[in-house]
């Protein structure tokens, strides 16, 4: 993989995420790791003391210094042949990320899972434009996640209209770059054995489309898809969870109050969100 883009606000979750990204560079043989920070200029009024007013130039200088210090701390983590670059500006987070994804030709965006940042990134109006414009996968790193080589990946899939709704080429490229085993988990209330005709057809379609990855499909009975996915990933000793975001409503469910606790806050595993 040529380039990974990691967003940071210098918080603990964000710092953990960029450290994870630096470790990941080894496995993915990443050439460029770009650290990005979007800062806000505080509004001022006539009553604001001049000593408290920080100019945009001064703010830019401070943020670049913080990024430089962060970069230095990552040099011992990232491989020697990965070049770490930094970028700070005062644009909205989503606008800045969208621009950098395009200019740097990044193939993956890495963020920490602090809830406010996650909700802003995934369900804000600007982010709808980002996801639609770039379709770049977003890797969400939980605050407690520690990097382990990605060998087993669990992917949640409803097995509905697979050929039309699953980003086949993108997923194959990603899974192959990790050189990992893929296990697909389907959680439902009425899992029938043998499968009914529709589900059997979708299962066979999935196997045909992803034949080069040699995946397996597991069926779990339950009402809570996120819990079933997390439980299986834990039992299977996976290192990553993949969620295919077919619709924006799914992104809202992922980052909403209940499921956010499951997939972004409580989970110890990174969650890779891939859009069709």
47-56, 135-144, 145-154, 213-222, range with greatest mean pLDDT: 145-154
Length of the chain: 276
Question: 22-39: string of b/e by CB count within 10 Å (b at 16+)?
Answer: bbbbebbebebbbbbbbb
Domains of the chain: 3-141 (3.40.50.620), 152-275 (3.40.50.620)
Does 242 have pLDDT greater than 60? Answer: yes
The per-residue pLDDT for 47 is: 56
Question: Residue 112's pLDDT is what?
Answer: 84
Which has more pLDDT, 165 or 152? 152
pLDDT at 263: 53
- pLDDT average, residue stretch 26-49: 80
Dihedral sign for Cα atoms in the order 18, 276, 121, 182 = negative
Query: Over the stretch 54-111, which tens digit does the pLDDT of each residue have?
Result: 666 788 889 999 999 999 999 999 999 999 999 999 888 888 888 899 999 999 999 8
% of the chain at pLDDT higher than 90 = 42
What is the pLDDT at residue 131? Answer: 61
Coil, strand or helix: which one is 194? coil
Contact 193, 220 (CB under 8 A): no
CB 214 within 8 A of CB 247: no
pLDDT higher than threshold 70 for residue 224:
yes
pLDDT value, residue 255: 44
Pick from 210, 132, 138: which is nearest to 173 by CA?
Answer: 210
248-255 and 125-134 helices, crossing angle to 10°: 120
């Amino acid at each position: 993989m040529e380039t990974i883009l990691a967003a940071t606000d210098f918080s603990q979750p964000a710092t953990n995420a960029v450290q994870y990204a630096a470790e990941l560079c080894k496995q993915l043989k990443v050439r460029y790791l770009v650290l990005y920070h979007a800062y806000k200029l505080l509004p001022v009024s006539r009553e604001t003391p001049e000593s408290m007013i920080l100019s945009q130039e001064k703010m830019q200088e401070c943020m670049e210094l913080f990024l430089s210090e962060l970069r230095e701390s990552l040099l011992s983590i990232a491989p020697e042949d990965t070049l770490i670059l930094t970028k700070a500006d005062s644009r909205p987070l989503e606008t800045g990320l969208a621009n950098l994804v395009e200019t740097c030709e990044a193939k993956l965006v890495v963020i920490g899972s602090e809830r406010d940042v996650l909700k802003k990134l995934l369900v804000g109006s600007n982010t709808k434009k980002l996801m639609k414009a770039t379709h770049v996968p977003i890797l969400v790193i939980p605050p407690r996640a520690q990097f382990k080589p990605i060998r087993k990946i669990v992917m949640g899939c409803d097995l509905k209209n697979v050929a039309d709704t699953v980003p086949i080429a993108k997923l194959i490229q990603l899974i192959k770059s990790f050189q990992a085993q893929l296990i697909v988990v389907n959680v439902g209330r009425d899992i029938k054995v043998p499968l009914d005709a529709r589900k059997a057809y979708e299962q066979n379609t999935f196997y045909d489309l992803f034949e080069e990855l040699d995946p397996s499909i597991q069926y779990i009975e339950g009402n809570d898809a996120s819990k079933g996915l997390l439980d299986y990933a834990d039992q299977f000793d996976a290192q990553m969870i993949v969620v295919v975001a077919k619709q924006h409503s799914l992104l809202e469910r992922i980052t909403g109050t209940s499921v956010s606790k499951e997939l972004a806050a409580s989970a110890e595993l990174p969650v890779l969100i891939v859009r069709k």
